[in-house]
């Protein structure tokens, strides 16, 4: 009886201390990276006043990440996951220290040299994330039993979104009151906390068969093939790729805050935080009411809602209406995240989690960082508002196509 009650408890995943340490680390690293991303993006736009320059930030991080993520997934399946995370995080900390030097008043760098260093460090951080992300994603399922995967996905996403709220929300105010360089010191401090939390986690043993010498290209092909033959995984991560690739507006928020809504750095913090506030509040509700009954229908409806909210944001000239629209993009996206993470946990074999996570990471990175480049390029060619309208409309078209092509997945169920 107690076991049945535990399985139904909305807090069951939080009874595992290493999982709790993991989700706190996940939250803090997200917060740190987003603070860094927001203040660097705002500083770059203040220097260049060019939306394409913002898009290039996403491209600079995405290309190295995508080039290494599959190899990072291969290593995550065959090496100590915790060690890979720590080494990658140390590399990211070094990059952040270089940014502190470059942005300090005593660096003596010209604006062109400063931009070169910033883009270069962003590329190096992208390389490091190519190892950190697959190791982190593949470690996570080993920290909790399978029967609480869905609950764990909700809590992990909630903590991630908490970091995603505090990061952008603090970034604008930290930039306004501390300046760029001192804000980057805050980022380094958060990375230090993450390193301490990771040190408390025990990495799972490497399976015996993975210690044998395996052809790396065969290993990578095996991971890619598994994703493409497992329709529920392929469709779920493809929906995320295309909806955020076309419908994401985050990279353009400095343009909106400066030139359309005229709300400055503090307003940028509010706009950046709004999607995550919507997401975390929705996820708190989903702790008690998981969206896994009629999961595929719920996933498609959530992404359609994301597209509609994007269109409202595109047409708004009022900061509070814009923030409200962004709130709902986060709320709808949170439903999508819970379902997609549960799909990945349930349908991926333990021995392939690193490689499948890396393929998923490439899709996510493509949607976020390459989506940022697409947003910047589209804004440059079409204008800021028309580019966001185009993205929202494309999201609606993609959802409609997938709805008719994936009818067999409407019966998708998860074992309890």
pTM of the model: 0.66
pLDDT tens digit string along 241-260? 777 666 567 777 878 887 78
How far apart are alpha carbons 30 and 13 in whole angstroms? 20
Q: Is the dihedral of CA 294, 296, 299, 302 positive or negative?
A: negative
Residue 262, Ramachandran bin (φ over 0: left; ψ between -120 and 50: alpha; else beta): left
CB of 295 closer than 8 Å to CB of 272: no
Percent of the chain with pLDDT over 70: 82
Q: Which of 93, 128, 98, 127 is nearest to 114 (CA)?
A: 98
Q: Which parts of the chain sit beneath pLDDT 70?
A: 1-8, 55, 69, 161, 165, 205-220, 223, 244-248, 350-351, 353-355, 357-359, 361-376, 413-416
Please give the structure tokens belonging to residue 69: 């993520």
Contacts of 13 (CB under 8 A, 6+ apart): 19, 144, 148, 151, 152, 154, 155
pLDDT given for residue 206 in this prediction: 64
pLDDT given for residue 255 in this prediction: 80
pLDDT given for residue 28 in this prediction: 94
């Amino acid at each position: 009886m107690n076991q049945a009650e535990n399985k139904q408890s909305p807090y069951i995943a939080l009874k595992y201390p290493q999982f709790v340490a993991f989700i706190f680390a996940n939250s803090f690293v997200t917060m740190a990276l987003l603070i860094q991303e927001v203040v660097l993006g705002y500083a770059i736009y203040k220097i260049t006043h060019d939306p394409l320059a913002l898009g290039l930030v996403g491209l600079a991080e995405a290309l190295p990440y995508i080039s290494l993520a599959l190899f990072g997934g291969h290593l995550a399946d065959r090496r100590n996951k915790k060690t890979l995370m720590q080494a990658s995080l140390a590399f990211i900390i070094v990059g952040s220290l270089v940014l502190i030097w470059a942005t300090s008043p005593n660096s003596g760098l010209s604006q062109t040299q400063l931009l070169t260093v910033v883009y270069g460090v962003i590329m190096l951080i992208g390389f490091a994330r190519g190892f950190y992300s697959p190791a982190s994603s593949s470690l996570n399922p080993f920290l909790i039993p399978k029967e609480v995967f869905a609950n764990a996905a909700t809590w992990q996403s909630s903590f991630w979104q908490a970091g995603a709220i505090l990061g952008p929300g603090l970034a604008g105010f930290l930039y306004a009151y501390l300046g760029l360089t001192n804000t980057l010191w805050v980022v380094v401090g958060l990375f230090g906390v993450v390193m301490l939390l990771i040190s408390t986690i025990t990495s799972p043993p490497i399976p015996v068969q993975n210690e044998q010498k395996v052809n790396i290209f065969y290993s990578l092909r095996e991971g890619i093939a598994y994703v493409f033959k497992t329709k529920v995984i392929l469709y779920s991560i493809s929906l995320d790729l295309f909806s955020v690739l076309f419908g994401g507006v985050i990279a353009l928020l400095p343009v909106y805050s400066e030139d359309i809504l005229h709300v400055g750095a503090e307003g940028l913090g509010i706009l950046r935080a709004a999607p995550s506030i919507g997401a975390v509040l929705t996820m708190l509700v989903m702790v008690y009411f998981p969206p896994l009954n009629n999961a595929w229908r719920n996933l498609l409806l959530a992404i359609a809602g994301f597209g509609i909210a994007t269109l409202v944001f595109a047409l708004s000239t009022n900061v509070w209406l814009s923030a409200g629209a962004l709130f709902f993009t986060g709320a709808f996206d949170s439903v999508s995240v819970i379902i997609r993470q549960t799909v990945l946990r349930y349908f991926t074999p333990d021995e392939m989690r690193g490689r499948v996570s890396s393929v998923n990471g490439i899709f996510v990175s493509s949607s976020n960082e390459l989506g940022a480049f697409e947003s910047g390029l589209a804004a440059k060619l079409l204008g800021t508002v028309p580019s966001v309208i185009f993205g929202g409309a494309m999201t609606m078209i993609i959802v409609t196509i997938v709805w008719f092509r994936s009818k067999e997945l409407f019966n998708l169920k998860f074992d309890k």
